[in-house]
Structure 1
Amino acid sequence: MFTQPSISLWSIVKLSPAKIAITWSMVILENVLLILLPLFIGYAIDGVLANDTTPLFWFAASLFGLVAVSVLRRFYDTRVYGGIRVRLAERVAHNLREADVSSKSARLTMSRELVDFLENDLPALMTAAIQLVSIVIILATFHTYFAVSVLVASSGMLLVYGCCHNTFKRLNGKLNDQTEQQVKVLSGKPFAALSAHLEKLKKHEIALSDTEALVYGFIFALLFISVLCNLWLVNILPSPSTGEVFSILTYSLEFVDTAIMLPVTLQVLSRLSEITQRLNRDNDTQLTKEGSYEV
């Protein structure tokens, strides 16, 4: 029996490994410059107060370097991932050549989300990983308690998301099941069927959105508690300078912005895991399942 080539994030990376490696290298360089900005700002503040402009020049150089790398990466990424989307769509269409038009149309659209993840979400995840490690290290240089505070908050955040992972996957599955029926509903079904289809889409989207809101509410609460703790812990430093206080508060707030990317990315991975399972189903299984759906 002919075995279709499976589709996964790794198989997509292997479509253009060298070009993707270049984009990842630029992401790492961009993040190194980004993570150093608050530290350079703190040094620049202390330098200006001491009539020393050298730290200010270093801060300006890092800003211009960050802008240049960011712009070049985005020019390059658009072209690389645009080509990958075309090649992936051709593979998906070939694998689903025996599926009905409604499912094929929906899954072609879903397959683009895999490339969107590599282009948009994975760099954000790399940013989060690099910055979280850097922030913990930098905060620890001021005092260990600052690092412990954000580590405890991040552990609680991952625990909250872990409890909801299966719920996200199940809700995304229901939404994708209904989405696959759209072309079929638009092709000759009465208006009442279309209305019912749209209502079901709305119901699944609301359920997913409500779950997201509750999860992120808990997560933001944990992260902001860590910021308040670090602000209070400034009292343990012996005669902290204005630049030091600014750096500690800035890195603590940056930790919130960065840490929230982890559950966001994990949620995307939950959706993509359901999509890859759907794309890799045997055609006979697909047709049987599709015939049993109710619109």
Structure 2
Amino acid sequence: MLTDRDLTVGTLLSVFRWRVGLTWALILSETALTVLIPLFIGFAIDGLLTEVFQPFFYLGALLIALILIGVIRRIYDTRVYGNIRVELGKALAFRFSNLPISSLNARIGMGRELADFMEETLPSAIAGVVQFVASGILLFYFSPTLALSACVVLFGMISVYTLFHSTFWRWNRALNEQVEQQVRILEQRSDRPTHVHFNRLRQFEVKLSDTEAVLYGTIFVLLIGLVLFNLWFATQHLSVTPGAIFSIVSYSWEFAEAALALPVTLQSWSRLSEITTRLDRSNGTAQPRT
């Protein structure tokens, strides 16, 4: 199924398009309901304050539907992506059968990261895009200024991540090259090479972690600024109900959470770009992909 193809996320999406498409449909349904929760909570608050209970019951029905779809999706996802991992493992074992067992073992492990990306990161990115767009529209509904502040923060986040992309790629490449040597080093059954190997893994992981810490620290400053500004603007410059203020703050935070999925996805893509280069049939020297 995958033997004669380039092993990329695009290939996997093409080969397993119907099965992945169904899980994406469930993700979109789940995300759409999730996006509506703050709005319905705001309606319920205003309704309960005036002893109107219908919005409260609507909120309950929405939450029940969300739970049902979420459970069904997770049961289905496990089976779909488990099958993808099996096919990936078979293809990699065939493609790199001439490599030393150390490199073959490492590349099979790296190949599974493609399926992990599709199961974990990509759905979060899809949900984030939907949540991001819906939150921006609803913030614009309350006030264009609220939506404008969100867009400014998003642009700032993209600019910050652009500065870190090549660094992530470089350290992921070094880590993957070291992982490929693990079985060969362990086969020597010598304390010194094993100690050096694990220290190098730790060094590369620390470099990646430190880079992540600086990146996300900077991004969180921008997101916190967004939430605080929109809360201040809603209470000082808009004539809205308590329920509406709750919705504005909630959608500002949802926008922040959705926007945070962007650098997470891009960071994962930086790592995958190095892995897919490594898994390419030409087996050439890895260079950053854009």
Under TM normalisation by the shorter chain, which class is it?
over 0.9
Aligned to 2:249: 249
Q: Relative to structure 2, which stretch is displaced further, 249-258 or 173-182?
A: 249-258
How many matched pairs? 283
Aligned to 1:96: 96
Letter in 1 for 2:36: L
Aligned to 1:229: 229
8 Å Cα contact 2:6-2:281 kept in structure 1: no
Deviations 1:7-35 (A, max 9, x none): 11011123322111100000000000000
8 Å Cα contact 2:95-2:281 kept in structure 1: no
Aligned to 1:40: 40
Runs of 4+ in 1 over 6 A off after TM superposition: none
Check 1:18–1:4 CA distance in 2 against 1; reply closer, same or farther (3 A cut). closer
Which residues in structure 2 correspond to 1:200-211 (within 5 Å)?
Answer: 200-211=200-211
- Between the aligned partners of 1:4 and 1:250, the Cα distance in structure 2 is 48
Letter in 2 for 1:5: R
Q: Alignment identity in percent?
A: 43
Q: Relative to structure 2, which stretch is displaced further, 42-51 or 11-20?
A: 11-20
Aligned to 2:195: 195
Aligned to 2:49: 49
Q: Relative to structure 2, which stretch is displaced further, 266-275 or 182-191?
A: 182-191
- Between the aligned partners of 1:255 and 1:138, the Cα distance in structure 2 is 10
- Between the aligned partners of 1:19 and 1:5, the Cα distance in structure 2 is 19
Unaligned runs of 5+ residues in structure 2 are none
Letter in 2 for 1:237: L
How large is the RMSD of aligned CA atoms in angstroms? 1.4
TM-score (structure 1 length as normaliser): 0.93
TM-score (structure 2 length as normaliser): 0.95
Q: Secondary structure at the match of 2:97?
A: coil
Aligned to 2:266: 266
Letter in 1 for 2:227: V
8 Å Cα contact 2:33-2:66 kept in structure 1: yes
Which residues in structure 2 correspond to 1:20-169 (within 5 Å)?
Answer: 20-169=20-169
Letter in 1 for 2:237: I
8 Å Cα contact 1:15-1:84 kept in structure 2: no
8 Å Cα contact 1:125-1:262 kept in structure 2: yes
Aligned to 1:293: none
Aligned-residue offset at 1:282: 2.7
Unaligned runs of 5+ residues in structure 1 are 290-295
Deviations 1:52-78 (A, max 9, x none): 111111101110000000000000000
Deviations 1:129-186 (A, max 9, x none): 0000000000011110000111100110010001111110111000101011101111
Aligned to 2:213: 213
